[in-house]
Chains A and B, each alone.
Chain A
Amino acid sequence: MPPGDRASLWNAVSACGNWSGQFLSGAGASVTLRELAGGSSLGGRAGELRGRSVLVSTRDQLTAALALIELDGVARRLILCPPDFPLEHLPVVIESAAVDAIVSDRTTPDPDAPPVGCFITCRPKIAPPSEDRRAGRQTEWILLTSGTTGLPKLVVHTLASLAGAIESGSTPSPAVWSTFYDTRRYGGLQIFLRAVLTGASMVLSDADESAADFLIRAGAHGVTHISGTPSHWRRALMSGAAHRIAPQNTRLSGEIADQAILNHLQSFYPQARVVHAFASTEAGVAFEVNDGLAGFPASLIGGGTGVEMKIEDGSLRIRSTRNAARYLGPKAGPLFGADGFVDTGDVVELRGDRYYFAGRRDGVINVGGLKVHPEEVEAVINRHPLVRMSLVRAKKNPITGALVVADVVLKTGPATGNGHAGQLEQEILDFCRGVLPPHKVPVALHFMSDLPVAPTGKLVRQPCVTSS
């Protein structure tokens, strides 16, 4: 590392030195680390982005990955925009993060997006590098998560906090990493950083590719380590192409891993280590569980592994150097409690000598990795002229982890008679389908005479993912 140079992704790629064919592979193109170390995916224009707050907004994961490697330590901020990010929230992000440059795989700016001073196109085609590659600063990495009102939250990390759980030299060479996740989200970014910082290869998924095609491609590249949510894995096992990979290590995170999916994975890949991990965008990577059992050993609480954990008011709280630094934006609340711990909002229950995850305290429902805030769905149902009030909750599901169901109180009293209730249910659901994306539409309505209201005047939400 030259004098004054900081640790950066670029330095990790350059320092790798003896590349034996390490690559980053997307659905449409591949780039070797050797090519990347000797050139630029930004047309040699990275210098123009020095010190800027750069929104990385590409459809394709490979172009985003290349831009991140090139700009870490150069840009002041890197804002990672997931591909499905709603355009209407872009102005809030641009203002909150003081974005003054956009890197995109488009050749011209999106006419519907707010104009920003500098626009640079990124391609998986490597051009001669810019002259000055020194990492002059510690770049802030900004991840976007969805907040209660549907507005995005901007979560500030550094390379150090993101990479806190990654041990160099911890993977056998030559490892080939992959993940079903998008690398612009925390779970996918972890795998991307693991690959780059340990000098390994990586196969990137693609939103337009079927699970089967992705598995075939990952298998052709000899994937050794692969991660995803339990929903990703269930979909993979039902794709007919799960046998196309032979991983040494499979990892689950992002949703509750139940015993059935752990057993299914272990029996399908008997040679693989099946690990499930707990991490969140705000709290960072907390722990991994290697014993093949759901939940986690109670002994992890208060254990001295550099990550402090405690349970308070039923939810898991975490303090470590892997925590995010803060939320960004004028209306952003605090990320930490007064005690310096991040409240994950994940409710855990102690049974025997293990803790088990029981759902979200705020009632947020995780449908196949997509968050659903109950209030958003209730607001739509409540707009129906016959509805007095509604309570949206999770119904456990073995394919997507959970689905959305709703308890509904009508203005006219409970719907009676199967025919009438069925017709009204369809009418309200059709109304929801017209407004909400499919994963947010309840799969069933239950007509009730009343709903429990707490002394605070708020609906009583059950934190548990109920089975009925």
Chain B
Amino acid sequence: MSIRSEILSQFHQVAKEQDKRLANLADDLELLDSGLDSLCVAIVVSRLEDSLGIEPFSTAEDTGFPVTVGEFIKFYENAAR
């Protein structure tokens, strides 16, 4: 499974568990407009750490925090390189 599809699948899974209405996940959608609150994003990050074996937030110090869905995916793709 690609990093992108794993991330999108976790967004859907967590939204379902947390009973949140997920917006259409376009790359330019801001994360906090996705329908997921910060607890949901935290859970997604935790699940991705288990499934992808990476957690780029604590290590990436030069790049800014991701704001949009596209930036979030790129954040993980860059960390996996």
Task: Encode contact with A along B28-64: 1 for CB under 8 Å, 0 otherwise.
Answer: 0011100000110111011100100001011111101
Q: Which of B18, B38, B59 contacts A400 (CB 8 A)?
A: B38
Q: Which of B17, B41, B61 contacts A264 (CB 8 A)?
A: B61
Contact between chains at B39 and A438 (CB < 8 Å): yes
Task: Encode contact with B along A226-251: 1 for CB under 8 Å, 0 otherwise.
Answer: 00000100110111100000000000
Cα A212 to Cα B32 in complex, Å, equals 9
Task: Encode contact with B along A248-269: 1 for CB under 8 Å, 0 otherwise.
Answer: 0000000000111001100110
Contact between chains at A397 and B65 (CB < 8 Å): no
Interface size class of A (residues with CB under 8 A): 20 to 34
Output the nearest chain A residue to B59 by Cβ-Cβ distance: A260
Within the complex, the shortest CB–CB distance from B56 to chain A, in Å, comes to: 9
Q: Which of A210, A268, A368 contacts B39 (CB 8 A)?
A: A368
Interface size class of B (residues with CB under 8 A): 20 to 34
Say whether B70 faces chain A, with CB atoms less than 8 Å apart: no
Say whether A347 faces chain B, with CB atoms less than 8 Å apart: no
Q: Which of A238, A368, A443 has the most CB of B within 10 A?
A: A238
- For B43, what are the chain A residues with a Cβ–Cβ distance below 8 Å? 403, 443
Contact between chains at A238 and B32 (CB < 8 Å): yes
Within the complex, the shortest CB–CB distance from B69 to chain A, in Å, comes to: 11
- For A398, what are the chain B residues with a Cβ–Cβ distance below 8 Å? 45, 55, 57-58
A368 in contact with B58 given A212-B32, A237-B64, A238-B32 (CB within 8 Å): no
Say whether A211 faces chain B, with CB atoms less than 8 Å apart: yes
Cα A260 to Cα B65 in complex, Å, equals 11
Say whether B23 faces chain A, with CB atoms less than 8 Å apart: no
Contact between chains at B47 and A238 (CB < 8 Å): no
Q: Which of B18, B47, B61 has the most CB of A within 10 A?
A: B61
- For B62, what are the chain A residues with a Cβ–Cβ distance below 8 Å? 267
Contact between chains at A238 and B41 (CB < 8 Å): yes
- For B42, what are the chain A residues with a Cβ–Cβ distance below 8 Å? 367-368, 397, 399-400, 403
Contact between chains at A399 and B32 (CB < 8 Å): no
A-B contact count (CB 8 A): 74
- For A237, what are the chain B residues with a Cβ–Cβ distance below 8 Å? 64-65
Contact between chains at A439 and B39 (CB < 8 Å): yes
Say whether B67 faces chain A, with CB atoms less than 8 Å apart: yes
- For A395, what are the chain B residues with a Cβ–Cβ distance below 8 Å? 46
Output the nearest chain B residue to A260 by Cβ-Cβ distance: B58
Contact between chains at B46 and A397 (CB < 8 Å): yes
Within the complex, the shortest CB–CB distance from B38 to chain A, in Å, comes to: 5
Q: Which of B46, B58, B65 contacts A444 (CB 8 A)?
A: B46
Q: Which of A238, A263, A368, A403 contacts B66 (CB 8 A)?
A: A238
Cα A9 to Cα B59 in complex, Å, equals 44
- For A368, what are the chain B residues with a Cβ–Cβ distance below 8 Å? 38-39, 42
Within the complex, the shortest CB–CB distance from A209 to chain B, in Å, comes to: 12
- For B67, what are the chain A residues with a Cβ–Cβ distance below 8 Å? 238-240
Q: Which of A268, A395, A399, A429 has the most CB of B within 10 A?
A: A399
- For A212, what are the chain B residues with a Cβ–Cβ distance below 8 Å? 32
Cα A397 to Cα B57 in complex, Å, equals 9
Contact between chains at A443 and B32 (CB < 8 Å): no
Contact between chains at A234 and B45 (CB < 8 Å): no
Cα A453 to Cα B68 in complex, Å, equals 45
Cα A238 to Cα B59 in complex, Å, equals 16
Output the nearest chain A residue to B50 by Cβ-Cβ distance: A444
Within 8 A of B (CB), among A207-224: 210-212
Contact between chains at B45 and A231 (CB < 8 Å): no
Cα A136 to Cα B47 in complex, Å, equals 57
Contact between chains at A240 and B46 (CB < 8 Å): no
Contact between chains at B64 and A264 (CB < 8 Å): yes
Contact between chains at B57 and A239 (CB < 8 Å): no
Contact between chains at A234 and B65 (CB < 8 Å): yes
Cα A367 to Cα B62 in complex, Å, equals 26
Within 8 A of B (CB), among A148-193: none
Output the nearest chain B residue to A238 by Cβ-Cβ distance: B65
Cα A397 to Cα B50 in complex, Å, equals 12
Given contacts A237-B64, A368-B38, A439-B39, 4 further A-B contacts (CB under 8 A): A235-B38, A260-B61, A267-B61, A368-B42
Can you pick out 26 interface pairs between chain A and chain B where the beta carbons lie within 8 Å of each other?
A235-B32, A237-B64, A238-B65, A238-B67, A240-B30, A240-B67, A258-B58, A259-B61, A260-B60, A260-B61, A264-B65, A267-B64, A367-B42, A368-B38, A368-B39, A395-B46, A397-B45, A398-B55, A399-B41, A399-B57, A400-B39, A403-B43, A403-B46, A439-B39, A444-B46, A444-B50
Q: Which 4 A/B pairs are nearest by Cβ-Cβ distance?
A: A398-B57, A399-B42, A237-B65, A400-B42
